[in-house]
Structure 1
């Protein structure tokens, strides 16, 4: 039985996730893409995974490059839209934090959690590519709340039950 892609997408939307922006540098140019498909893979070695549409600009830029996964806080809603290609008229300009090592990618200032990664592997995932990164350094901001993605909409933690 064939699954209708739109029905599958709608059903998957019932799984609430955090929102991340995956960033990388190409020369002096900084790039980012909003990604909700992010997960931990292994503690030893420390690995994380991001899934990117294989036709996206981010999927073309990421192979073999260090990348940073920025877990967004609820205050970074405008950045989630900006890096998803839907900037708002009142959106803020991203503020960048340098990487903790010269062979790592910069981060977005103010993120809830940050994973600085070196490239580990890339795997075929159908219409997506699965990028595994070895976590080289982390940073966290325990005083903030996460931005969530649920049923195709961004939410603050308190608004999910409302």
Structure 2
């Protein structure tokens, strides 16, 4: 027997965040050029989706003002951040005008900003979007892959940044 919809809605938002915050994830920045201007946002809700065809997914908030600009571009770069890039993540994760002020980047193969110091980058084209409640589920086709560094990844855990311990 499935729980009633009202029961599912009875989940406390604070408890939901606290429990799901115990899942550690890597941190990415999704970047594109919109009318020649670099745009991007920090995103820890990113995952590989399919090998054939090669697909990845990420989940921008419906309130994002940056995602519509990236969507319009149609192609973008997923930058996987290294453990020393927490300040860069904060800068690109906040709302505001020129998030790219002082940010060092070069064009990726598809022309999107490739952030200097990223562990790896994934060039993508928009494949599909699906309703995900207060977020959008973005499905992207991978068009290019680059490894840049052997550094360790920046991690997100319990609403803060972390690093891998020595193995």
TM-score, normalization by structure 2? 0.85
Q: Which structure 1 segments of 5+ residues have no match?
A: none
Match of 2:153 in 1: 146
Moved more, 4-13 or 45-54: 4-13
Match in the other structure for 2:137:
130
The aligned runs of 1:66-145 (5 Å cut-off) are 66-85=75-94, 93-101=102-110, 104-145=111-152
Other structure's SS at 2:165 match: helix
Within 2, Cα distance between the matches of 1:59 and 1:7? 28
| Larger Cα-atom Rg | 2
TM-fit CA distance, 1:86: 7.9
Which runs of 5 or more structure 2 residues have no equivalent in the other structure?
Answer: 1-6
Distance 2:140 2:116 in 1: 20
8 A Cα contact 1:67 1:133, kept in partner: no
2:19 maps to 1:11: yes
Is the Cα contact below 8 Å between 1:59 and 1:129 reproduced in 2?
no
Give the CA RMSD over aligned residues: 2.0
**CA deviation after TM superposition for structure 1 residue 7, in Å:** 1.2
Q: Is the CA contact 1:52–1:58 (under 8 Å) kept in the aligned structure 2? A: no
- Inter-partner Cα distance in structure 2 for 1:127 and 1:69: 22
Q: CA contact under 8 A between 2:118 and 2:149: conserved in structure 1? A: no
Match of 1:20 in 2: 28
How many residue pairs get aligned? The number is: 154
